[in-house]
Amino acid sequence: MPQPDPIQGFTGLPAYLETYQIPDTLAAMYNFLLNRAIPRFATTTARDAALPSPTDGMVCVTGTGTSLVVWIQQAGAWKTLWQPPASTVPALTGAAGTDGFGLYRDPDGTVKLEGTVTKTSGNWSVAGDVAFTIPAGFRPAGFRRFALPAYASSSATGTLLASISGSTFQVTIQLNGSLATNVAYFSHSWRAAA
């Protein structure tokens, strides 16, 4: 039978009357402590109503699923400790994305561009082909250029270069050499502009 906690007044604590009850009561105790160790709230409004005077170091959770956020109280304010990364798949221009192609932004502002982009007609050109535009919220502070791994016949030489315009934020893929390929593999990161 559950017994009240004589010190803090919690109710629902298990009492070990028989040894065969221990596994069930341990599960009940685990759930009891888990619900009190890190408070969970549906919204920040509910959190603020339940915790009007939080102390530094307190941790809580708001939301569920993809809207779940873990907070920490620091210097008199709630600060985000963790939240799921934002993600988007930019609209492609004359290309198709595969292998998890997309942009992912961590709460700290680190953006990752990952996956494969395949040109739908022909190969990437020496002049360069615009493949997609980086959407707002994922853009770097300015111009960026990086080499991409390219896979083609062993007799071909060269590399693929990707550049992100500092004004239009279009990503252009450009062939450098005699390579003949329509596939570009991305695995790059940068800090999002403020």
How much is the pLDDT for 44? Answer: 95
Is residue 60 within 8 A of residue 48, CB to CB? The reply is no
Provide CB contacts within 8 A for 187, sequence distance 6+.
112, 113, 114
Answer yes or no: CATH 2.60.40 is held by domain 86-191: yes
Domain edges within the chain: 19-82, 86-191
How much is the pLDDT for 72? Answer: 92
Q: Rounded distance, CA 130 to CA 174, Å?
A: 9
How much is the pLDDT for 153? Answer: 52
Q: Rounded distance, CA 194 to CA 186, Å?
A: 23
Question: pLDDT 10s per residue in the chain (194 long)?
Answer: 445 445 545 566 556 566 566 677 777 777 777 666 788 899 999 999 999 999 898 899 999 887 889 999 999 999 988 888 888 888 888 788 777 889 998 878 899 999 888 888 888 888 999 999 999 889 999 999 988 876 655 555 667 888 998 889 999 999 887 777 888 888 999 999 87
How much is the pLDDT for 12? Answer: 60
In angstroms, the first-to-last Cα distance of the chain is: 57
DSSP for the chain reads --B--TTT----B---SSGGGHHHHHHHHHHHHHHHHS-EESSHHHHHHH-SS--TT-EEEES-GGG-EEEEEETTEEEEEE-PPEEE-PPBSSEEEEEEEEEEE-TTSEEEEEEEEEESSS---SS-EEEEEPPTTS-BSS-EEEEE-----TT--EEEEEEE-TTT-EEEEEEEES----EEEEEEEEEBP-
The pTM for the full model equals: 0.61
